[in-house]
């Protein structure tokens, strides 16, 4: 099933990633370089009125352009593991209960920025890959491999059998996130803001860490926490 992605940057990345199949644009975009890029890529371009764009994008801030894209591909857990098994330090991310599409979109951007090898998500109880996530990710959704699984605990068992260490970030942790040696195959786990990481996933983790904070608010937005954790893993491996 095709999806609609709106906004200049998300549309640009959908073209570059080879995911766009057609471009719809307002007449005011006629001389925009983005349409020239779409034309060069061999994509059909149709000019439509602003109302149709708003209706299809389900938002006012479409910036006058929309891409009709192929359905976002998901991968099996085995495919993701296989794609990074020859790397010295693979890095995966498990999301446990992320319900806000804006959080998921921002997380995808961080994953792309820090070279994450793949995301593992639940089939139920979690926001799925949709047009809002695609737009917020500003195109990162096309580059970050995502697996959707029925059971996170079973996925963790598979990861452990393939040499991954499981590092969960939770307020119950007694160890700082900066005290772990990340120079090995790692899978970071991040939970929802409201409920955190499920009990069974925490039980099956090799490390439960926390991000030290000194402010008055005792929790971080899930996407911000993810960015901090992935940055720490990335930087510690550069030393």
Please determine, for residue 177, whether its predicted confidence score (pLDDT) is greater than 80. Answer: yes
The predicted pLDDT at position 33 comes to 95
Give the least confident one: 13-22, 57-66, 72-81, 116-125. Answer: 57-66
3-state DSSP assignment of residue 101: helix
The per-residue pLDDT for 75 is 95
pLDDT of residue 145: 95
Q: What is the mean pLDDT of residues 134-142?
A: 91
Residue 218 in this model has a pLDDT that exceeds 70: no
Give the mean model confidence (pLDDT) for residues 149-157: 95
On the question of pLDDT at 178 being above 90, the answer is yes
What does DSSP assign to residue 89? S
Q: What structural domains and CATH numbers belong to the chain?
A: 3-69 (3.30.1330.30), 77-238 (3.40.1280.10)
Mean pLDDT, the chain, integer: 92
Q: Give the residue with greater pLDDT, 159 vs 174.
A: 159
- Sign of CA pseudo-dihedral 52, 55, 61, 66: negative
- Could you give phi then psi for residue 23, rounded to 5 degrees? -115, 130
Q: Retrieve residue 146's tokens.
A: 């995502």
Which pLDDT value is given to residue 221?
Answer: 87
Q: Mean pLDDT throughout 221-237?
A: 94
| pLDDT given for residue 125 in this prediction | 83
What pLDDT shows up at residue 57? 85
Backbone φ and ψ of 74, nearest 5°: -115, 160
pLDDT tens digits, 25-73: 999 999 999 999 999 999 999 999 989 999 988 877 899 999 999 988 8
Q: What pLDDT is attached to residue 58?
A: 81
Question: Is residue 170 pLDDT above 90, yes or no?
Answer: no
Predicted TM-score (pTM) of this structure: 0.90
Give the pairing type, strands 65-69 and 91-96: unpaired
Which residues make beta-bridge pairs with 189? Answer: 94, 168
Confidence of residue 201 (pLDDT cuts 50, 70, 90): very high
Q: How confident is the model at residue 124 (pLDDT cuts 50, 70, 90)?
A: confident
Contacts of 217 (CB under 8 A, 6+ apart): none
Instruction: Provide the pLDDT for residue 10.
Output: 92
Average pLDDT over residues 164-178: 90
pLDDT of residue 108: 97
């Amino acid at each position: 099933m095709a999806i609609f992605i709106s906004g200049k940057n998300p549309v640009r990345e959908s073209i570059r990633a080879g995911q766009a199949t057609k471009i719809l644009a307002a007449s005011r975009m006629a001389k925009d370089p983005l349409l020239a890029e779409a034309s060069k890529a061999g994509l059909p371009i149709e000019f439509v009125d602003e109302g149709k764009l708003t209706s299809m994008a389900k938002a006012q801030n479409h910036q006058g352009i929309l891409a009709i894209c192929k359905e976002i591909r998901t991968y099996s857990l085995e495919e993701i593991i296989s794609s990074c098994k020859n790397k010295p330090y693979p890095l995966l991310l498990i999301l446990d209960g992320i319900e806000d599409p804006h959080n998921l979109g921002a997380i995808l951007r961080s994953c792309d920025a820090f070279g994450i090898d793949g995301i593992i998500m639940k089939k139920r109880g979690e926001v799925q890959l949709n047009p809002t996530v695609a737009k917020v990710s500003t195109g990162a959704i096309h580059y970050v491999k995502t697996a959707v699984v029925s059971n996170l605990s079973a996925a963790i068992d598979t990861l452990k059998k393939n040499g991954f260490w499981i590092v969960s970030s939770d307020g119950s942790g007694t160890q700082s996130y900066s005290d772990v040696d990340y120079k090995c195959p790692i899978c970071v786990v991040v939970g929802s803001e409201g409920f955190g990481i499920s009990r069974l996933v925490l039980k099956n983790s090799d490390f439960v860490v926390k991000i030290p904070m000194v402010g008055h608010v005792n929790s971080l937005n899930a996407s911000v926490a993810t960015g901090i954790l992935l940055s720490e893993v990335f930087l510690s491996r550069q030393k």
